[in-house]
Amino acid sequence: MTRQTADKDNTQKEALTRRDMFGVGLAGASVALTACATTAGSAHAEEAQEKTKTKKDDKPQPITDLNLTPTTSAYIAGIRSAEIKPEFLELGKRHILDTLASAVACRDLEPAVLARKYAQFKSGDASNAATVLATKERAGIVDAVFAGAMIAHGAEINDFIPSAFVQPGPAVVSTAFALAENRGNSGKDVLHACIAGYELSGRMPKALGIGNLYYSGIANHGIGPCFGAAATAGAMLGLSADQIANVMSYAAQQASGSWQWLLDVEHIEKSFVFAGVGARNGVEAALLVEAGFRGVRDSFDNADGYMNQGVFRGGDRKPKYLIEDLDTRSELPLTAYKRYPVGGPTQPAVQALLELQKHTNAATMESIRIEMPGRWQAFRDAEMPALNLRYLASIIVIDGKLDFVAAQSRERFLNDTQVHELMKRVEIAHDPAQESGTGEERTESARVTINDTKTGTHEQYVPWVRGFPSHPMSRADVEAKALELMEPALGKARAKDVVDATRNIEQLQSAADLVQMVSGS
């Protein structure tokens, strides 16, 4: 027997977890789990729900004395010239690269193709235009940003903030580069503006309350990126603090998204909610204000403003989190990478399968057993290929690898008879030993056992996959992932140029140079 076991390691705590938030049936739960890894037990979810209900029953009062709007607005307005900690600048570069690579890899997948088609239909002939990220196509600024964001989240490969349940990169990065190209901004402008975008993307859902959003049916995944894109756009356009206050008001009016995305099995509506709609509405808010629109200048502090409306009063809201240590702490260290093109909780099992595949093949594989914590049934029965562990195990055995396209292939998932035959031999099971107790920290994990008629039994335990905030990727890891994603489309030389340019992005006089690199021009 081959057995490689490592000590379990832990991650940061969550007050409300993705496993425990979704009582929506197996297919829905499976889709829900794609965005982030989970980190706590059911007791936390019940506690958060009870806390939400109790405080709402007590009719909590509005919070108006924190100066949220002016502090946030001043931060965004000053970000392009701000002194930012070197470690945050470095993380910003890595996440920009990760997002660009995701866009290059996903640009021909269906969500991306549909978004590109829509952008061309709406404004492909616009004179005031920008390049759609990772393509040679151009469209009006808002449509280019929208399509670029949906391209970058065309599959399960871009970054995410587990503690906020958002995926910031697609909306933030597509906004920054479209405006940089249109307005002639530098690489440094893009880097600094993206850092502001990541801050708002991660901080806003936590300030409003993760539980408040969920129990109200409002998807964090659309809320965070809307404010993140608005912050990025406001910074790129060089708007003043007073103008940014108006931008936040128009972002609040447009921030949207429903947990209905849980029902999507084709990743199209999911891409729209997680990336496209937030990017579109955020950049629109900034462009409206640049054109002279004015609104509620104290949207976050007014007793009747956005953050004090009934749905966000009480519960698990933390309004001060929006501005807490804004100049010294960042959401970037809390932002995770996906090592494999599959949902977060399936990654440990996929890593184990890839490490064990050398011991078996489609002809001799007798059975595979995958043991994991949490909602194991969701990943047994998922209707989205990149979340169905029986499907993923089968294609890894057949192909001897995990191909990016195959992992997302509905065609193969539905029609490949060899895959269907192997799926019958794959068992997904719950392992109580991998669960953490109430209040204990955790990471995603999996134990995989393969029985082969020729080579015998082989077992692999994976306690965590590198990329989660507790075990972040190094620069070398991120660059290797980016090259792997980009080389098939751009070639080795161009992919390396993108990596090198992003590593030194603050030296680019024109960020449009990087836009052209990833377009393949």
Please, is 487 exposed, middle or buried when counting C-beta atoms within 10 Å of its C-beta (0-12, 13-18, 19+)? middle
Task: Give residue for tokens 């009582």.
Answer: 23
Contacts for 493 with CB less than 8 Å, ≥ 6 apart: none
pLDDT reported for residue 50:
55
374 in the same domain as 229: no
- Structural domain includes residue 330: yes
- Structural domain includes residue 150: yes
Enclosing domain of residue 418: 2-16+340-462
pLDDT reported for residue 521:
64
Q: Which residues of 366-380 are buried (b: 16+ CB within 10 A; e: fewer)?
A: eebbbbbbbbbebbb
CATH number of domain containing 389: 3.30.1330.120
317 in the same domain as 246: yes
Contacts for 439 with CB less than 8 Å, ≥ 6 apart: 13, 40, 41, 43, 44
pLDDT reported for residue 13:
35
pLDDT reported for residue 262:
85
Contacts for 404 with CB less than 8 Å, ≥ 6 apart: 105, 155, 157, 341, 485
Please, is 24 exposed, middle or buried when counting C-beta atoms within 10 Å of its C-beta (0-12, 13-18, 19+)? middle
The 10s digit of each residue's pLDDT in 243-269 is 999 999 999 999 999 999 988 989 999
pLDDT reported for residue 71:
98
DSSP string, 376-437: HHHHHH-SSGGG-HHHHHHHHHHHSS--HHHHH-HHHHHH-HHHHHHHTTEEEEE-GGGPPP
430 in the same domain as 322: no
- Structural domain includes residue 62: no
82 in the same domain as 206: yes
Of 437, 462, 487, the position where a domain reaches its end is 462
pLDDT reported for residue 48:
52
376 in the same domain as 245: no
457 in the same domain as 482: no
Of 413, 432, 462, the position where a domain reaches its end is 462
The whole-angstrom distance between residue 406's C-alpha and the CA centroid of its chain comes to 21
- Structural domain includes residue 45: no
CATH number of domain containing 248: 1.10.4100.10
pLDDT reported for residue 439:
57
275 in the same domain as 191: yes
369 in the same domain as 325: no
pLDDT reported for residue 278:
98
348 in the same domain as 335: no
- Regions in the chain scoring below 50 on pLDDT: 1-45, 47, 54-56
- Structural domain includes residue 467: no
Q: Which H or E run contains 114? A: helix 110-123
206 in the same domain as 347: no
Q: How many structural domains compose the chain?
A: 2
- Structural domain includes residue 43: no
Helix, strand, coil % over all residues of the chain, rounded to 5: 60, 10, 35
410 in the same domain as 506: no
- Structural domain includes residue 267: yes
- Partner residues linked to 428 by β-bridges: 370
pLDDT reported for residue 12:
35
Name the token pair of 278. 């937030």
- Structural domain includes residue 26: no
363 in the same domain as 233: no
